[in-house]
Amino acid sequence: MKPASVSATSALLAEHDYLADRALATTVHLALCMQRPLFLEGEPGTGKTEIAKVLAAGLGRRLVRLQCYDGLDLAAAAYEWNHARQLMTIRLAEAAGETDRERLESDIYARPFLLERPLLSAIDPDQPPAVLLIDELDRADEPFEAFLLELLADFQITVPEFGTISAGTPPVVILTSNRTREVHDAIRRRCLYHWVDYPDGARERAILARKAPGVPERLSAEVVAFVQKLRGEDLFKLPGVAETIDWAGALHALDQRELNPELVDETLGVLLKYQDDIAKIRGAEAARLVAEAQEEAA
């Protein structure tokens, strides 16, 4: 059951507390309609991973997640043969006096001996349809990208000893990257591309209202105004939406109803994760931003 229009897609995401802007909703809608993988790039904390989770919930599919890391290989990502079980079968065959080589070979390279890893699990025709999240692809090394090409183009995986396994229902594939290195063009070509940007003030307030429902309205308006101002500063790492939500939650937990400079100084570590950045903002700069944010939110 695919949403019928961009608005329906947008509503589906919103139902699960994901407020996408029009461009993102359109791209997601297209990915669903065209059955193409969706490649999302953007700064950390802008909700790239969240889309996959929300889509899985919204479409009633299971979520299969592959977290990428340097050195990720086929055995950890796609499939592995269950060697212990294979050895045992050989021994048993020996004990039973089985000598037909062909038969033994086809016996031990059969489906029950194949251990599924996320990629294979996502396209397994015997399981319900999936949303496949390939998270932080930029962390994997280049050889791994090559493994993905067949999967992304045809939703199938070829196991040399066994044959080709293709998906009954093509999975919805979401790839994310924080751009710590450039992902190869061969991957990009097979995907729809979208750059996920920081939301504007109005959208961020709406997100905050959904994600941190207990936070007083005034506080959340000030928090958003402050963070939006902060993103205009020359910082090494700008705070993402995830940080905004955390910070609003933190201030709320401290029973605050509005921002004040001392408190901002004390809780800045929730928002900024580099000491240089914190040192730069703490004190006078924070006080100035708080004043501006309060003026704007009032």
- Binding interface with another protein (CB under 8 A): 5-6, 22-23, 26-27, 29-30, 33-34, 36, 41, 70-73, 80-81, 83, 86-87, 90, 93-94, 99, 101, 104-105, 108, 138-139, 141-143, 161, 178-182, 185, 188-189, 192-195, 234, 236, 276
Distance CA 8, CA 29 (A): 9
Instruction: Provide the minimum distance between the beta carbon of 64 and another protein in the complex, in angstroms, as a whole number.
Output: 22
Q: What are phi and psi of 2, to 5 degrees?
A: -95, 145
Closer CB to another protein, 83 or 288, in the complex: 83
CA nearest neighbour of 276 among 246, 285, 254:
285
Q: What are phi and psi of 219, to 5 degrees?
A: -60, -45
Instruction: Provide the minimum distance between the beta carbon of 56 and another protein in the complex, in angstroms, as a whole number.
Output: 21
Closer CB to another protein, 102 or 255, in the complex: 102
Instruction: Provide the minimum distance between the beta carbon of 114 and another protein in the complex, in angstroms, as a whole number.
Output: 12
Instruction: Provide the minimum distance between the beta carbon of 41 and another protein in the complex, in angstroms, as a whole number.
Output: 6
Distance CA 297, CA 107 (A): 70
Distance CA 197, CA 153 (A): 27
Closer CB to another protein, 93 or 287, in the complex: 93
Closer CB to another protein, 178 or 267, in the complex: 178
Taking a C-beta distance cutoff of 8 angstroms, is the pair 279, 85 a contact?
no
Instruction: Provide the minimum distance between the beta carbon of 219 and another protein in the complex, in angstroms, as a whole number.
Output: 31
The number of residues in the chain equals: 298
A 10 A CB-CB count for 87 gives 11
Question: Locate tokens 């050895």: which residue?
Answer: 87
Closer CB to another protein, 182 or 266, in the complex: 182
Instruction: Provide the minimum distance between the beta carbon of 213 and another protein in the complex, in angstroms, as a whole number.
Output: 30
Closer CB to another protein, 128 or 274, in the complex: 274
Distance CA 159, CA 238 (A): 43
